[in-house]
């Protein structure tokens, strides 16, 4: 009986995760996080995480020797502030990547079109915002494919290679599945509690967090549902410029990697 039970359990696991992944990689959930940067010194996730990300071409920061930062925004739903954020980015000539969900694509198509029209990148934040570690390989690939397809239909952006997992939850299995599907996980090195619309604290809170945590090579994560972020963004960008920072897109990072000029992303 024990042997039969073991066989049945094994078959169940293989059906859920796929025969190659269940034996090769771990599906232990990991919640992305680390000690925040201070005094413009980049944060360190530690050798274990660094090696894991490197194995699957993922990254969370760029060259610590260059005062360049990368703005990224997560767009789960529209709360009335993305237009203002786009206005600021256009005025200050700052590129960004917007990680969108299926809900956002369906509820705010005009804003997604504007993102691409104004030179920004639309990245994949999954269709239904699930915990990747709790869904099968096939379901994960379906989540990603639907976002890519809908984005292409709306905007003409046919390529989509940047992925941010919902809530920053991932595993080695999900890293592998995403990479095999042509995606690069983009985590972050600067973030704070900005997504709770009931806990907005005023523009200075957002501004101070950005300026306090900024560092060369920062990948900045902001949520567009935050009024604080929308109100603080212009001053933050202007003051970062005064401190000698420049702004680049994630595509710039990939180009640097391809020509061998950035060893800090994989």
Q: List, by residue number, the catalytic residues.
A: 74, 223
Alpha-carbon dihedral angle through residues 256, 125, 187, 257, given to the nearest 10 degrees = -10
Q: List Cβ<8 Å contacts ≥24 apart for 150-155.
A: 150/102, 150/105, 150/106, 151/100, 151/105, 151/112, 151/122, 154/105, 154/109, 154/112, 154/113, 155/112, 155/113, 155/115, 155/116, 155/117, 155/122
Pairing mode, if any, of strands 68-75 and 30-31?
Answer: unpaired
Query: Rounded to whole angstroms, how far apart are CA atoms 119 and 117?
Result: 6
Name residues whose C-beta falls within 8 Å of residue 225's C-beta, 6 or more positions apart in sequence: 76, 77, 78, 79, 81, 195, 197
Neighbours of 48 (CB within 10 A): 9
| Alpha helices in 108-157, H assignment, sequence order | 109-117, 137-155
What is the number of alpha carbons within 13 Å of residue 120 lying toward its C-beta? 28
Nearest to 68 by CA among 249, 209, 191: 249
Query: Rounded to whole angstroms, how far apart are CA atoms 25 and 52?
Result: 11
């Amino acid at each position: 009986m024990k042997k039969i039970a073991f066989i049945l359990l094994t078959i169940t696991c293989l059906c859920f995760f796929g025969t190659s992944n269940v034996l090769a990689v771990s599906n232990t959930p990991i919640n992305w996080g680390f000690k925040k940067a201070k005094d413009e010194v980049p944060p360190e996730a530690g050798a274990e995480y660094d090696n894991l990300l490197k194995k699957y071409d993922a990254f969370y920061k760029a060259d610590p020797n260059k005062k360049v930062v990368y703005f990224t925004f997560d767009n789960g739903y529209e709360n009335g502030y993305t237009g203002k954020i786009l206005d600021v980015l256009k005025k200050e000539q700052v590129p960004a990547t917007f990680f969108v969900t299926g809900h956002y694509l369906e509820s705010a198509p005009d804003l997604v079109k504007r993102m691409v029209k104004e030179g920004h990148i639309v990245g994949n934040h999954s269709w239904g915002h699930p915990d990747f570690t709790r869904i099968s390989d096939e379901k994960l690939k379906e989540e990603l494919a639907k976002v890519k397809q809908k984005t292409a239909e709306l905007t003409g952006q046919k390529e989509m290679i940047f992925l941010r997992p919902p809530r920053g939850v991932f595993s080695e299995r999900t890293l592998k599945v995403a990479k095999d599907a042509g995606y690069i996980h983009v985590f972050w090195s600067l973030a704070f509690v900005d997504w709770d619309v009931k806990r907005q604290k005023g523009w200075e809170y957002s501004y101070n967090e950005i300026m306090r945590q900024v560092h060369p090579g920062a990948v900045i994560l902001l949520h567009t549902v935050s009024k604080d972020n929308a109100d603080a963004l212009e001053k933050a960008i202007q003051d970062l410029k005064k401190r000698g920072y420049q702004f680049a897109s994630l595509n710039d990072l990939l180009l640097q990697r391809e020509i061998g000029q950035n060893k800090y992303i994989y």
